[in-house]
Structure 1
Amino acid sequence: MTQDCSYNELYALQVLDDSMEPEFPAKCVIVIEPSEVCASGAYVIINVDGERLFRQLMRDDSGQEQLVPLNPQYPTTALAGTNHKIEGVIVQRNIRRKIKHYKPYEHNSHLAN
């Protein structure tokens, strides 16, 4: 019997808005590794109450989680009391063939604005 491993395969999405600028400008391509876990400071694709978001996940010392947009024109979202699930972590960004890699399993809190 063979098992389908496609749920572990990386996939790409195009950023459609400016909520994560300047690090992730609109129309750049991000590569996502399917995962439900990550370190604080990782960039994630997450489903919150039925809405799919691309944000930076931050955890404080007490374990409280919030989603932080890099563009200050967008609100920060507290995850307490929501139905949420991390769908994947961003491992790469491509802007006009300029590639940058990210380490989603290491603490990156210094990346937040």
Structure 2
Amino acid sequence: MEEFKRKPINIPVVSADQQADSAFGACSEAEPFALMVLGDSMEPEFHDREIIVIEPEGLARDGSFVIAFHNEEYTFRQLVKRDAGWALHALNPAYPDHPVADLSCVKGVVILKKKPGRRKSVKYYIDQEKH
């Protein structure tokens, strides 16, 4: 089995009490950044307090997990193509989908998740050979 060659990426640490706009502004627009999942809207795939890494310049497509700016706040959802355009879809059926006209609201694509404190609990959402 061929082993993936992984190169480390630097992920800036920003305190949670900073405003969302300044947290996104702390990184250059091209740098990946990490966020902690809060709540259960993306269960069963993403659980409360898991860490996700976002690629701001990642390619958003149907089925991608994204960070989007919608209704004056940042949200974590799955991007889904619909007949009338796009929707931000919560995996937990207790939460509604939010239709969006285009992809301009997408601020980054999730490239991996990790459970805090577990070294081997990483799941990638991109092809590792391209990174």
Fold equivalence (TM over 0.5): yes
Q: How many angstroms does 1:16 deviate by?
A: 0.8
Structure of higher CA gyration radius: 2
Asked if 2 retains the 8 angstrom alpha-carbon contact of 1:32 and 1:92, the reply is yes
Asked if 2 retains the 8 angstrom alpha-carbon contact of 1:55 and 1:69, the reply is yes
What is the identity, as a one-letter code, of the residue corresponding to 2:97?
T
User: Hey, which bits of structure 1, 4+ residues long, moved more than 3 A?
Assistant: none
Q: How many angstroms does 1:103 deviate by?
A: 2.4
Q: How many angstroms does 1:25 deviate by?
A: 0.1
Percent of aligned pairs sharing the same letter: 40
**Runs of 5+ consecutive residues of structure 1 not aligned to the other structure:** 105-113
More strand by share: 1
**Runs of 5+ consecutive residues of structure 2 not aligned to the other structure:** 1-26
Aligned-CA RMSD value: 2.4
Q: TM-score, normalised by structure 2?
A: 0.67
Distance in 2, matches of 1:19 and 1:49, equals 17
The higher relative CO (CA closer than 8 Å, separation ≥ 6) is in: 1
Q: TM-score, normalised by structure 1?
A: 0.77
Deviation per residue, 1:31-72 (Å, 9 max, x gap):
000137411100000001311110000113x46100110111
